[in-house]
Each structure stands twice: as C-alpha cells, then as structure tokens.
A and B are shown apart, each in its own frame.
Chain A
Amino acid sequence: MADDDIILSELSDDDLVLQMHDDLYDGLKEEIEEGVGILLERGWTPYDVLTRALVAGMTIVGADFRDGILFVPEVLLAANAMKGGMAILKPLLIATGAPRMGKMVIGTVKGDIHDIGKNLVAMMMEGAGFEVVDLGINNAVEKYLEALEREGADILGMSALLTTTMPYMKVVIDTLKEKGLRENYIVLVGGAPLNEEFGRAIGADAYCRDAAVAVETAKSFIARKHNALRA
C-alpha cells in the first residue's frame, strides 16, 4: 500500500461520502462496497447510505455524461461500482422499510437487444426508491402487459436503440389503449434515436433523455397521480 493511499475507515462521515462520490466517478467497485460497509457500521440507515453516498454520486456522473465530460465506458464502470453497493443495501432497504415511490415495469422492446441505457434507468429508479421489475431485452407486447398486470405497476418504461425497433413502442401503447388499460399506467420511453416529438407521436406520457430525467419525470408523474387521488 502506498503512503498516500486513503484509508476509508479513518475519514469522517462527510469526507467519506465525498470520497465515495469520487470513487463512484472512478468506477471503483471494491472501494464503494467498503464505504457502504463503513457507513452502515457507523449506524447510518441503508436509505441514507443509498441516497447520500450512492445516488448523489451517480447524479454527478449522470450530469457529466449529459454535459459530454464523461462517456459511456466511464458511466458503465460507475454503474458497476454502484451496483456493488446496491447489492449490499437492497436486502437491508427491504428489511428497514425504506420509503417506496411506486413500481415500474421496464424492458427493451421486441427485436432489440440493447440494454445499457435501460439498465442504468432501472438502477437509478431503484436508487430513487422505486420498485423495478426488469423484463430484460426483446419484449413482445404480451410480456409487457402480463407483467404490468401481475405486478400492479404504476409505470411502464420502454427502451430501444434502433430506428427499426422504436416504432414497436407504439404497438405496446396502442394495445394498452385497445384494452382500455392505457390510463392505468404512466408510460415513459427512452433510447438514443428517440426524441420528444416521437414520444408525443406514439402517445407516451414522456420521453426521457437519460436516467436522471427518467427518475425526475417518474417522481413528478407519481406525485401528480397521488394528488389526483387525494382531490
């Protein structure tokens, strides 16, 4: 070990959280797992570790990706590091009854195997307190509908990377309409070739440019839904 190596356990809480933001940025999975363990040992709630150390750190990564400072490889490494921390926290979050925002069914559409963006959205949604049911890649309309009903989901998230597969999102939304189910769900869509106009044209509730936007959009729609129920 070099003399200038940082000993995580010797840092104050505030410094450790800042160091974890740096370590997430640098994609250092083992350091993140160690930091999570230290904060838990110091009596932090799993929810605080998640939001203040991991989600806040990934938010910085997301902003720098959006601004062209970081690129996909670095985001993947950061996501992998966050996943390490999440794996420790997830069972504890369930056990400690952390606040739940709502439930999302998410998947890449039929004929499309690209899942990097979808995986990032799923992870950030979990980090924000949503329960996420990830259907994976290549999902036909029947699979989405069956999962939405089975899970009692609030949100449907669909992703596509190809110009040739993104129209399938409309097939899913049209099927929801035909069955009279469209108003039961908040439908969010995303993927590199999509844009807001496309989202509107196919009848989605919103197009989400990146994972951070997806989280904020989902929170805002869920809040509106709750307000409407109270009214």
Chain B
Amino acid sequence: MTLSDVALTEQGLPPARKGRVLLIACGALAREILALKAANGWDHLDLTCLPANLHLWPERITDAVTAAVAEHRAAYDSVFVVYADCGTGGLLAARCAELGVEMIAGPHCYAFYEGVDVFAAKADTEFTAFYLTDFLVRQFDAFVWRPMGLDRHPELRDSYFGNYDRLIYQAQTDDPALDAAARAAAARLGLAYERRLTGYGDLAPALAAL
C-alpha cells in the first residue's frame, strides 16, 4: 500500500478490516505505526487514521475521535486511540474514559517520541524549542508555513517564533534528506537547529502491550 502524506493530512486512512484491535490514530503517525506493525508482525492490529490536519483545529479532535470510535468499535474486540492530548486540554482523555477506550499517554506526539518522562524532565530547559517529527518535516509547508500565513506574510515570522530559540528535529528514521529539510526549516524560521534520533519512543511499547 502506498501512503500519501497529502492524503494522510487531508483525508486520513480507512481501516483494512483485518485484526481484532483497531488503532484510531492521527494521520501524522500512520507511517510510524505501520512500520512498527510490519517490523513486529503485529497482525492483530488494524489501523485507521483521522486527517492529520485536525491539529490545525485541536478543538475538533475530541469529537472526531468519538465519531470514529462509534463508527468502528462494533467490528473489533477493542479500540486504542493513538492521539496524545494534542491541545485538547484534557478533553480527549476524559472522552476516551467515558467511551471506555484507552489512549496513549502524553501531551503531544513529540513528547512520546522522546519518551514522556524524559520530555517532561527537559521541560525547564527546552520550552523555547520548536519540535518537528519526520511527518512534520515532510509536511512543513502544509502544517506550519502556509497555515501561519508565512507564505503570504513572511514579516509575521517573529510574531510567531520570536520567543523560540531552536528547532529540534526528532528523527524517527535516519534519513539524510529529512535532516537537510529540517535544517532548512530551522533556517526559514530563524532558529538554531538540533537533530535528535528518537526512533519511536513510547509508541513501540504502547502498541506492543495491545
């Protein structure tokens, strides 16, 4: 199956209808989840993704996940939500508890890629960092540059990023092309650049436990 980043951003991914546990995930995590599934032979896991661009309207995430759970849960033994809090202010966790489905822990995907505990421990020194993952590097224009209007109004850059001092690229895969693209993104934002090979972090054990 060929995955298109544009489709994952705008449409998401339908389930394959194979497996007894359904993962309802953000489109930004699709490649990583499918890579882990293939590497570990987790054939009992099926995956459906909501459009990654829901992150542009975090207030819509909770209802979108709720609708997906309602649509699919009857066809599976269980459902696991692969969203972090993602700016829902605790509402997604509360809704998942109401629905009786579990979700991955952490405030954002870049926290669980780093490891939620490790990420939290660095909060005091890294709160001036802007994070990108593999997906966000590939979709930098669609997720950062264009929605912030920087393609039309580059003069707004410092209104958004003036308080940041660096861009940290959390690499899930060791890809020189993504490294170069992330470095270029940092330069466009006027930020220092750091690359950190995190791999899949807490995502792997969370899925292994299912």
Contact = CB atoms under 8 A, between A and B. Distances in A.
A and B are interacting partners: yes
Interface of A: 71-74, 76-77, 80, 111-116, 137-138, 162-166, 192-195, 198
Interface string B75-92: 000000000010111110
Interface stretch (B6-14, B158-166, B176-184): B158-166
Contact of B164 (A72, A113, A163, A166): A113
A113 B148 contact: no
Sort A-B residue pairs by CB-CB distance and give the 4 closest, nearest first. Answer: A73-B149, A193-B89, A113-B163, A163-B85
23 contacts: A71-B147, A72-B148, A72-B149, A73-B148, A73-B149, A73-B152, A73-B156, A76-B149, A77-B156, A111-B124, A113-B127, A113-B164, A115-B163, A116-B159, A162-B107, A163-B85, A163-B90, A164-B123, A192-B58, A192-B87, A193-B88, A193-B89, A193-B90
Interface string B110-147: 00000000001001100110000000000000000001
Contacts of B107: 162-164
A194 B59 CA distance: 10
Contacts of A71: 147, 149
A104 B31 CA distance: 48
B105 to A, nearest CB: 12
A116 B159 CA distance: 7
A165 B107 CA distance: 10
A137 B85 CA distance: 23
Given A192-B58, A198-B89, A198-B90, A137 B163 contact: yes
Contact of A76 (B88, B120, B159, B163): B159
B148 A163 contact: no
Contacts of A77: 153, 156
Contacts of A166: 89
Contacts of A164: 107, 120, 123
Given A72-B148, A193-B88, 6 more contacts: A76-B149, A116-B160, A192-B87, A193-B58, A195-B89, A195-B91
A10 B123 CA distance: 56
Of the candidates A73, A74, A138, A165, the one having the most CB atoms from chain B within 10 angstroms of its own CB is A73
B163 A114 contact: yes
B66 to A, nearest CB: 16
Nearest to B87: A193
B89 A194 contact: yes
Contacts of B89: 163, 166, 193-195, 198
A76 B158 CA distance: 11
A71, A111, A193 — most chain B CB neighbours (10 Å): A193
Contacts of A198: 89-90
Nearest to A162: B107
Contacts of B159: 76, 80, 116
A111 B149 CA distance: 26
A74 B160 CA distance: 13
B177 to A, nearest CB: 29
Contacts of A192: 58, 87
A186 B48 CA distance: 46
Given A76-B159, A115-B163, A138 B90 contact: no
Contacts of B164: 113
Contacts of A193: 58, 85, 87-90
A164 B85 CA distance: 10
